[in-house]
Structure 1
Amino acid sequence: MAQRGGRFDPDRISRELDWNLLRTFVVLADSHSITDAAARLRLKQPSVSAALKKLEDTVGRKLIDRSPGRYDLTEAGTLLYHEAVEIHGSVLRLSTLLRDLTDDVQGHVSIAVASHVVCPLFDQALERFHAAHPRASVAVEVRPSADAVEEVAAKRASFALCLVKAHDPKLEYRRLYREFFGLFCGPPHPLFGRPDLKITDLAGHGSVSFETDRLHDVLKPVTLLRAQAQMGPDITGISSHLEEVRRMIIAGLGIGPLPVHVAARDVAEGVLWQVPPYTDLPAIDVHVVWNPRTIRNRAEEMLLAELHQAIESTPIEQRTYR
């Protein structure tokens, strides 16, 4: 055990802790059983069990409760998991950082983005960045906002553009833009094309929405908007992607929320119809989220700096899309 005189021996842990054991533990923590973890790691079950025992012996704590009918992280296991995930992110970044040691900026930028992020300011920053550093590469992965923040915290994403429910003190946040959500229906819906609608006309109609459209989540204002309209309690369709929510609205599955500036073209083309209310719409802020403890390559630093500069030089009124 990693203890000395009844106390933990941090020097011994730092000497004996094997990164491969931590990597195995991350998979164990994300799995449902030893058997499940072994399948993910492509190892035999006894090897994974032995690795877990060795890690528990090294840190001097039980990490996973494997009593009959249970497979849960202990308090120590939960603590170690959060640290191991961050270490894992740092190790994965080593090859990117080393590859970036050239005269030209040719690093890779990984951006986690919520699906409804439509922001000319960001598009222009990305355009300027590519023009200045054409050898740098960018990957944009669409994720629910909570997952996007998680990717940043784990150092797997360079930064995120997303909604924020609660601020993690370990991360940094900056408002990128503000958007307003309205309610829309598609051509098959009985309210489509009616110019004389009142909010009372929405009562009882079914709806489609985003997974985060809940009282305890980031789209709470949209949830309250639907409640104000006294729409039916059942959500007929749900997705974390704007494109799929839009698809279901157009298909007539129900009335659904979309950012007004994003839906404007569809409304102009007769694909969507906005329904009441038309004023006092819920405002939703989209943030840039980054991890100050992440060691970034030059491409990441420059794109993030480009985005910060764009925010600083553009008044919030011009970053508010109505």
Structure 2
Amino acid sequence: MRINVTPQQLAAFLEVAETASFSEAASRLSLSQPALSRTIRVIEETLGARLFDRDTRNVALTPAGHELAPIAARIVREFDSSFSELARFVTGRSGRVVIATLPSMAAVLLPGAIARFRETRPDVDFQILDAHSGAVQDAVADGRAEIGLTARPSPDRQLAYHPLMTDEFGLVCRRDDPLAAEAEVSWRVFADRPFIAMSPGSSVRAITDSAFLQHAVPVATLFECGFLATARALVDARLGITALPGLTVPLMAETGLVWRPLVDPVYRRSLGVVRRIGATLAPATLDFIADLRGEVHRRSIDVRLAGAIRSEGEAVVA
């Protein structure tokens, strides 16, 4: 049998049981005494049992009232706790943020942004799915991730895109390579040296293929790497040179490799946040995107400082 008694009615019952007074309970609840009496009468009629014995001077629980009291307390406590949790979620104080992301964005942008975010919102959890651009977009489109951090998707993906930053491409070579002495390098340098490519499906591969095709640069591709660490190791082993976006520079710290801007022409990729069109993002996710923009701004200052150091002749990526 379904019993239609609300948590608010049970809270009123508990107030009368605690105070043993309809007038005092009504005052605490900011209700008139007749309104409180009607509430108790509705509960009694619904349950089919009298809850209080009362006269002009005394109010006491009946056996049914004694039986109901712990049940009512548990229901009210659970109701308040559940809605408190919901309120924390709605205000972005709790929840789970699932992000699909390019490995470079995961390694460079997310750690600082998440650490700062959790300083004030420790109850927000994160799940990170790092993959190439196509897989990131698939994860968002399939609903496995709420947002993605990736390059601008093609229009046929039907994903909403919000730019965060632009990322310039550059040559990566060893510090003792003659090319390291150059302030900037033409894309045509790859016609004379073995090229270490990233794997098909990555945003980096799409841009390097486009650059070579558009400018008729014949390239001898030596390797196709799925991971930046592999490309870095191959360059360090003198097996070739590669082209990578500037966001990857911090991932090469202390390797002895250098990054030099590629020109004639300059290529940049747009990086941003993707989500499903029409999807409502969780409050914590919306707040995190705002914090992520702050992290991008902070990182852009770091990049400008790094650029100033490079312009003064520093060869090692820092």
The answer as to whether partners of 1:170 and 1:291 remain within 8 angstroms in 2 is yes
The answer as to whether partners of 1:172 and 1:290 remain within 8 angstroms in 2 is yes
Separation (CA, whole Å) in 2 of partners of 1:151 and 1:293 = 16
Counterpart of 1:247 (choices 220, 224, 233) is: 233
Q: Can you give the 5+ residue segments of structure 2 that lack an aligned partner in the other structure?
A: 1-82, 308-318
Q: Can you give the 5+ residue segments of structure 1 that lack an aligned partner in the other structure?
A: 1-97
Separation (CA, whole Å) in 1 of partners of 2:270 and 2:219 = 27
Could you say which residue in structure 2 is the equivalent of 1:232? Answer: 219
Percent identity over paired residues: 20
Are positions 1:206 and 2:174 aligned together? no
Matched letter for residue 287 of structure 2: M
Matched letter for residue 148 of structure 1: V
Q: Following TM superposition, by how much is the alpha carbon of 1:207 offset from its aligned partner in structure 2, in angstroms? A: 0.9
Could you say which residue in structure 2 is the equivalent of 1:158? Answer: 146
Structure 1 segment 139-158 matched on structure 2, within 5 A: 139-158=127-146
Could you say which residue in structure 1 is the equivalent of 2:169? Answer: 181
Are positions 1:291 and 2:276 aligned together? yes
Matched letter for residue 257 of structure 1: A
Separation (CA, whole Å) in 1 of partners of 2:297 and 2:260 = 31
Counterpart of 1:101 (choices 47, 70, 86) is: 86
The answer as to whether partners of 1:111 and 1:158 remain within 8 angstroms in 2 is yes
Cα displacement string for residues 177-203 of structure 1 (whole angstroms, at most 9, x for unaligned residues) = 11111122236x865655599756543
Could you say which residue in structure 2 is the equivalent of 1:272? Answer: 257
The answer as to whether partners of 2:133 and 2:201 remain within 8 angstroms in 1 is no
Change (3 A) 1:251 1:120: closer
The answer as to whether partners of 1:163 and 1:287 remain within 8 angstroms in 2 is yes
Separation (CA, whole Å) in 2 of partners of 1:238 and 1:119 = 21
Change (3 A) 1:319 1:148: farther
Matched letter for residue 258 of structure 1: L
Separation (CA, whole Å) in 2 of partners of 1:192 and 1:256 = 12
Helix, strand or coil: the match of 2:208?
helix
Helix, strand or coil: the match of 1:254?
coil
Q: Following TM superposition, by how much is the alpha carbon of 1:300 offset from its aligned partner in structure 2, in angstroms? A: 2.6
Separation (CA, whole Å) in 2 of partners of 1:206 and 1:134 = 48
Counterpart of 1:282 (choices 267, 270, 285) is: 267
Q: Following TM superposition, by how much is the alpha carbon of 1:285 offset from its aligned partner in structure 2, in angstroms? A: 0.8
The answer as to whether partners of 1:155 and 1:294 remain within 8 angstroms in 2 is no
Counterpart of 2:244 (choices 258, 261, 267) is: 258
Separation (CA, whole Å) in 2 of partners of 1:280 and 1:273 = 20
Could you say which residue in structure 1 is the equivalent of 2:4? Answer: none
Change (3 A) 1:177 1:118: farther
Q: Following TM superposition, by how much is the alpha carbon of 1:225 offset from its aligned partner in structure 2, in angstroms? A: 3.8
Matched letter for residue 104 of structure 2: H
Could you say which residue in structure 2 is the equivalent of 1:34? Answer: none
| Structure label with greater radius of gyration | 2
Could you say which residue in structure 2 is the equivalent of 1:132? Answer: 120
Change (3 A) 1:238 1:133: same
The answer as to whether partners of 2:195 and 2:241 remain within 8 angstroms in 1 is yes
Separation (CA, whole Å) in 1 of partners of 2:222 and 2:274 = 32
The answer as to whether partners of 1:179 and 1:320 remain within 8 angstroms in 2 is no
Separation (CA, whole Å) in 1 of partners of 2:264 and 2:124 = 43
Instruction: Give the count of matched residue pairs.
Output: 218
Q: Following TM superposition, by how much is the alpha carbon of 1:276 offset from its aligned partner in structure 2, in angstroms? A: 7.3
Could you say which residue in structure 1 is the equivalent of 2:19? Answer: none
The answer as to whether partners of 1:116 and 1:259 remain within 8 angstroms in 2 is no
The answer as to whether partners of 1:182 and 1:258 remain within 8 angstroms in 2 is yes
Q: Following TM superposition, by how much is the alpha carbon of 1:155 offset from its aligned partner in structure 2, in angstroms? A: 1.1
Are positions 1:116 and 2:104 aligned together? yes
Change (3 A) 1:167 1:128: farther
Provide TM-score, normalisation by structure 1. 0.53
Cα displacement string for residues 263-295 of structure 1 (whole angstroms, at most 9, x for unaligned residues) = 26848x561144674574311111100124445
